[in-house]
Structure 1
């Protein structure tokens, strides 16, 4: 292959031979000369016949290709519609959600807490908010501290709820959450 890779048009049929001896052929879906990547829609190895509708999308690094052949050139269309604009606010919202979810997963992990306790911790964070829930060490075990007023000790059942604050209504509310969560787990 020459140092200057051929430019491909979307819809063309291309055959590539990789340096690993693999032969790939398919329809060009996307191409980027800057990073020397080619995305092809290749026929699936399962099924077959004239009615084959399942395809594999394969990304090929053209720097690792020994030979490239354009089997059928597709003429570029004059009335090609531009792609839809990227919805940046939606992408930011998905990123924010993923970051919060990962942070919660990391915060809910404690080596001395049971998986049930960690799942209960995640549920309580969703109900009360992230800064309101913390782990509280108690020797070999850990307890869940809610708003510095209610503590749920291991094994995280309703009889292990202790309230230290001035509002017993919060303890009753937490007790209902724990009962409901425990009944759904069993």
Structure 2
């Protein structure tokens, strides 16, 4: 083989003979002239004939090939269809959502809180917003503090709600959220 390897188009059928005496033939999947590598899709060795559905992907180092033959050249399409433009606003929205979701998951974790309490914390953050809900340490227990006005102590039921400042609308809202959450869990 010459030092300058031929260029292969994707989809061409190629037959190679390696310096070890192996004959490899298959369809070109990728080719890199810089590193002299050819990736081919070869038929599986377990038979199957024309109805064969499985293939082996083989990487061939062209530096170790004695003979390379292009059996069938792939004909590129006359008109290449342009890919659809990337929807950047949608990607940004997905990224923002994923970041918020992961941040919420990280903030909802507390080593002294039960999984039930962590799930309630996530629900309250979705309801009241991220900065409004914080963990409040109480020795080996941890409580959920809502807007610095309401505290829910462990085990995080409606009986464990304490009000630091009386706000009737907030009290009713927190009670309903906790009650609905508890009823769905049990």
How many residues were matched structurally? Answer: 172
In 2, the alpha carbon distance for the partners of 1:24 and 1:182 equals 64
In 2, the alpha carbon distance for the partners of 1:32 and 1:88 equals 30
Match of 2:141 in 1: 141
Query: How far does the alpha carbon of each residue in 1:96-149 deviate from its partner, in whole angstroms, 9 at most, with x for none?
Result: 111111111110000000011111111111111101110000110110111111
Match of 2:91 in 1: 91
Aligned pairs for 1:56-71 (under 5 A) are 65-67=60-62
Alpha-carbon shift at residue 53 of structure 1 (Å): 6.6
Aligned pairs for 1:12-161 (under 5 A) are 12-13=12-13, 28=29, 65-67=60-62, 72-161=72-161
In 2, the alpha carbon distance for the partners of 1:182 and 1:81 equals 55
**In 2, are the aligned partners of 1:151 and 1:162 still within 8 Å (CA)?**
yes
User: Which stretch of the first structure deviates more once superposed, 168-177 or 4-13?
Assistant: 4-13
CA spacing shift, 1:82–1:143, aligned 2, 3 Å: same
Q: Secondary structure at the match of 2:96?
A: helix
> Structure 2 regions of 5+ residues with no counterpart?
17-23
Root mean square deviation, CA, Å: 3.9
CA spacing shift, 1:179–1:113, aligned 2, 3 Å: same
Q: Secondary structure at the match of 2:134?
A: strand
The alignment's TM-score, normalised by the length of structure 1, stands at 0.71
